[in-house]
């Protein structure tokens, strides 16, 4: 795709997203947030328009577009006040199947994921006792003839109640029986509709934001042996290979959030008059907004580079991680500035600032926390000793 074609595609997608977002105004998001309800109608609209299938190759029914386009799609949703966290995983979780699945698995699942007939937006990695230390997970999948039997618990498995399939990371060999702690972990693509009838339980977790996140329990859950993706014991590598895409796409959402806050703050600062003049005339109000703007533009430039590297086949996580770090800090700076600009009105539900403020804070914690990105950079880029 030439640069011109890419720009044309991005501009068409932004127009489409904008139209969808106009159908789903602030009141729609406020109501979902208040009741912690899933934005099914919004996700259905995006699915119908094929916007969540952009990264699936054309041969499997998707549009085969580069990650820059996926990133611009999610960015636009956030820029216009929506929240793509409800469905961003439908865009990238399939990457595990695409990169490491067999041809049979790809043919079976990808076209249905592309059409939206199958929802693959649950990603079961994190566990309560292991936390960030993924190799310490204890959920076990034990081979038994033509099945595996799964036992264990996942936490923060987002959208599990709104997904048909789940990419699950489990141990197939206990940690104390492997040479390298990252060995003995395997990835499965499980059909949750069957698992729910056979010992899997999903409990929603109420959180400070509307994120449809859950804990999932596996009690002797049988799954077919052909749910295994790639080679048994090599799952950690497969999971890592999907993380750059996830970080890039979430970084794009952070840029969208930052832009939403900056616009909201600038508009309000120009309109709101106190002491007989707009508050935006005070440099104490305008400078933080200008700083957030500069910070966002800089972070977006790093994100653009991360996209280009990803598209060129570069598998190093440096730029994807830096993009996630910098954009999440920029969106948080913009969120805080917007809050301060709105004064008391910031905490009133009707302006959406407090809702977006809660949503924006998440991205310094998930899908990876800021500290772990800094550790990665310190170790990989600067040659500093590993801290864990
Ligand atoms: C709303 C939400 C949705 C999520 N969705 C999913 C999902 O769909 N699927 C999934 O698998 N997971 C999901 N997660 C989990 C998310 O990826 C983790 O919360 C995140 O990786 C941090 O892990 P933790 O919460 O266990 O923190 P911990 O690992 O307990 O860490 C707590 C704090 O200690 C710091 N810390 C830990 N070790 C070190 C160290 N060595 N050096 C410096 N600091 C350190 C961390 O940075 C963090 O600030 C979600 C989480 C949330 C909150």
Q: Which residues contact 36 (CB under 8 A, 6 or more apart)?
A: 204, 206, 210
State the distance from the centre of ligand 1 to the C-alpha of 86, rounded, in angstroms. 19
Q: Please work out whether the CB of residue 387 comes within 6 Å of at least one atom of ligand 1.
A: yes
Q: Please work out whether the CB of residue 125 comes within 6 Å of at least one atom of ligand 1.
A: yes
Q: Please work out whether the CB of residue 198 comes within 6 Å of at least one atom of ligand 1.
A: no
Instruction: Give 329-373 pLDDT, tens digit per residue.
Output: 999 999 999 999 999 999 999 999 999 999 999 999 999 999 999
Closest protein CA for atom 53 of ligand 1: 366
Q: Please compute the mean of the pLDDT values over residues 199-204 and round it to a whole number.
A: 98
The phi, psi pair for 61, rounded to 5°, reads: 95, 0
Instruction: Give 214-265 pLDDT, tens digit per residue.
Output: 999 999 999 999 999 999 999 999 999 899 999 999 999 999 999 999 999 9
Instruction: Give 76-135 pLDDT, tens digit per residue.
Output: 999 999 999 999 999 999 999 999 999 999 999 999 999 999 999 999 999 999 999 999
Residue 1 pLDDT more than 90? no
Q: Please work out whether the CB of residue 371 comes within 6 Å of at least one atom of ligand 1.
A: yes
State the distance from the centre of ligand 1 to the C-alpha of 136, rounded, in angstroms. 13
* Domains of the chain from N-terminus onward: 3-115 (1.10.540.10), 120-235 (2.40.110.10), 237-381 (1.20.140.10)
pTM for the predicted model, two decimal places? 0.98
State the distance from the centre of ligand 1 to the C-alpha of 2, rounded, in angstroms. 39
Share of the chain above pLDDT 90, in %: 99
The phi, psi pair for 141, rounded to 5°, reads: -120, 115
pLDDT at 388: 87
The phi, psi pair for 248, rounded to 5°, reads: -60, -45
Residue 299 pLDDT more than 90? yes
Name the burial class of residue 206, with classes exposed (0-12), middle (13-18) and buried (19+) by CB atoms within 10 angstroms of its CB. exposed
3-state SS class at 157: coil
State the distance from the centre of ligand 1 to the C-alpha of 135, rounded, in angstroms. 13
State the distance from the centre of ligand 1 to the C-alpha of 125, rounded, in angstroms. 11
Instruction: Give 364-379 pLDDT, tens digit per residue.
Output: 999 999 999 999 999 9
CA dihedral sign, ordered 46, 51, 55, 57: positive
DSSP letter string, 53-85? GTTS-GGGTS----HHHHHHHHHHHHHTT--GG
């Amino acid at each position: 795709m030439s640069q011109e074609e890419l720009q044309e595609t991005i501009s068409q997608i932004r127009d489409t997203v904008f139209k969808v977002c106009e159908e789903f105004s602030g009141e729609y998001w406020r109501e979902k947030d208040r009741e912690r309800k899933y934005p099914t109608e919004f996700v259905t609209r995006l699915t119908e328009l094929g916007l969540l299938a952009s990264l699936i190759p054309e041969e499997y029914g998707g549009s085969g577009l580069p990650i820059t386009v996926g990133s611009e799609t999610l960015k636009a949703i956030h820029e216009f006040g929506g929240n793509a966290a409800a469905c961003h995983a439908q865009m990238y979780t399939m990457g595990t199947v695409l990169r490491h699945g067999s041809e049979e698995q790809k043919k079976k699942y990808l076209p249905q994921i592309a059409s939206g007939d199958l929802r693959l937006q649950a990603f079961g990695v994190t566990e309560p006792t292991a936390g960030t230390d993924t190799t310490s997970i204890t959920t076990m999948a034990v081979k038994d003839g033509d099945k595996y039997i799964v036992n264990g618990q996942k936490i923060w498995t987002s959208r599990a109640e709104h997904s048909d399939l789940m990419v699950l990371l489990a141990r197939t060999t206990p940690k104390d029986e492997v040479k390298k702690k990252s060995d003995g972990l395997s990835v499965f693509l499980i059909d949750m509709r069957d698992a729910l009838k056979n010992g899997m339980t999903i409990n929603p977790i109420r959180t400070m934001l509307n994120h449809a996140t859950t804990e999932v329990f596996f009690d002797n859950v049988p799954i077919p042996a052909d749910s295994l993706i790639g080679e048994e014991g090599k799952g950690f590598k497969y999971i890592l290979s999907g993380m750059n895409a996830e970080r890039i796409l979430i970084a794009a959402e952070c840029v969208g959030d930052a832009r939403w806050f900056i616009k909201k703050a600038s508009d309000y600062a120009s309109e709101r008059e106190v002491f007989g003049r707009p508050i935006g005339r005070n440099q104490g109000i305008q400078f933080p907004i200008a700083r957030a703007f500069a910070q966002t533009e800089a972070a977006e430039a790093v994100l653009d580079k991360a996209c280009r590297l990803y598209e060129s086949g570069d598998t190093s996580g440096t730029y994807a991680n830096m993009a996630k770090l910098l954009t999440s800090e920029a969106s948080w700076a913009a969120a805080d500035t917007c809050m301060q600009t709105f004064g008391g009105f910031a905490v009133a539900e009707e302006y959406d600032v407090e809702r977006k403020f809660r949503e924006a804070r998440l991205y310094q914690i998930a899908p990876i926390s800021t500290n772990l990105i800094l550790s990665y950079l310190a170790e990989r880029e600067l040659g500093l000793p590993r801290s864990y």
